[in-house]
Amino acid sequence: MAVVNRCAVGVYPSEQLLDWARRLELEVDAAGAREPCLYLIPDYDTQEEAEDILSEVYEAIFEAELDYWHRDIGAWPAERTYPVFRKWFDVRFYPLIQDLVGEEITATELDEEFVGNITTTLEAMAKVPGVAD
C-alpha cells in the first residue's frame, strides 16, 4: 500500500448553499446532494498550514462547486470571498491518503480554450427555446 504525496480537503454544502439552491428550485434532497467533493491539495503539517493552502485555492473550489450545482454563472453569488466560501461550505481536511489500487495515478489536464468553448456553447444552447427544457 502506498501513501500519496497529497492531502485532501472535503467540501460539504452548508445550509447557506442549500438555501441558495432551494431558491433556484434545484434538487437538494437527491441522493448525494449533501455528500462532499474531495480536492487534492499539497501536503501540510499543521491545521494552520491547511487553512493557508485552502485560502489560496478556495476560488477554484468555490467555482467548481457552484458549477456542479448550477451551470448558470449569472445565478451564482456575486461575492465569492474566502469568508463567504467558509459560510457556504463545511470543510474537513484529510491529512493522509493511501492508495489501495497500486497503479500509477494519472491526471488529465483540460485545455482552457476547449473548456471555454464548451462553456460558451452550453450557455448559448440554454438560451434556445426547447433545448434546456
What pLDDT digit, counting tens, does each position of 64-76 carry? Answer: 999 989 999 999 9
pLDDT, position 63 = 96
What pLDDT shows up at residue 124? 61
In this prediction, the residues of the chain whose per-residue pLDDT falls under 50 are: 131-133
pLDDT of residue 133: 46
Domain membership of residue 120 (yes or no) is yes
Residue 70 in any domain: the answer is yes
Q: Is residue 131 part of a domain?
A: no
Range of the domain at 12: 2-126
Residue of 65, 40, 42 lying closest to 52 (CA atoms): 42
Q: With a threshold of 0.85, does the pTM exceed it?
A: no
**CA distances (Å), 108 to each of 70, 96, 105, 111, in order?**
24, 23, 10, 10
Answer whether residue 132 is part of any domain: no
What is the number of domains present in the chain? 1
